[in-house]
Structure 1
Amino acid sequence: MTGSEAEKEILGHITEMINQEKDLRDRLARQEIDEPTEHARLARLETELDRCWDLLRQRRARMEAGQDPGAANVRPASEVEGYLS
């Protein structure tokens, strides 16, 4: 898989998760799910989104540095969630 194909795949996964977030909020508004369920699912999605964005940033940084973007790895949620903004 080329670098651009991998990036498109990651971006596709990010888009899918953003759509899932919207769906959860819509389902809560229609009272199809309760608030604790929505919050738990959103928390998992947000963590996974953070991990995907981190992977994408790693890949782009490696490309800019002339390194192999394929050597970037998905980091554990505990590491990614510990970053400061």
Structure 2
Amino acid sequence: MTDDIDIQKHIKGLIDEEHGLRARLGTGEISVEDENHRLKAIEVELDQCWDLLRQRRAKREFGEDPAAAEVRDAKVVEGYRG
């Protein structure tokens, strides 16, 4: 992902996938286990994307290059929760 617009498009795609999974579960196309497994992965990826956007905005605010922001490991991003 190269810029904020790309990251936001990726976030939208993940949200669309999340909605699609819920619809597929409702029609019986996938199991609850399959939905939960993929939803968990989407949640982590969304957290990483939001974190990346926050990093980019902070760098921009302080006169640094937003392109220097990097996707952080899932363990780091998920560790913010508690």
User: What TM-score, normalized to structure 1?
Assistant: 0.92
Q: Which residue of 1 aligns with 2:58?
A: 61
Identity of aligned residues (%): 51
Pair 1:21-2:18 in alignment: yes
Please give the secondary structure, in 2, of the residue aligned with 1:44: helix
Distance in 2 of aligned mates of 1:76 and 1:50:
10
One-letter code aligned to 2:5: K
Pair 1:70-2:67 in alignment: yes
Of residues 18, 28, 32, the one that matches 1:35 is 32
Structure 1, unmatched stretches of 5+, are none
The superposition leaves residues 35-63 of structure 1 with CA deviations (integer Å, 9 ceiling, x where unpaired) of: 00000000000000000000000000100
Please give the secondary structure, in 2, of the residue aligned with 1:82: helix
Of residues 46, 51, 70, the one that matches 1:49 is 46
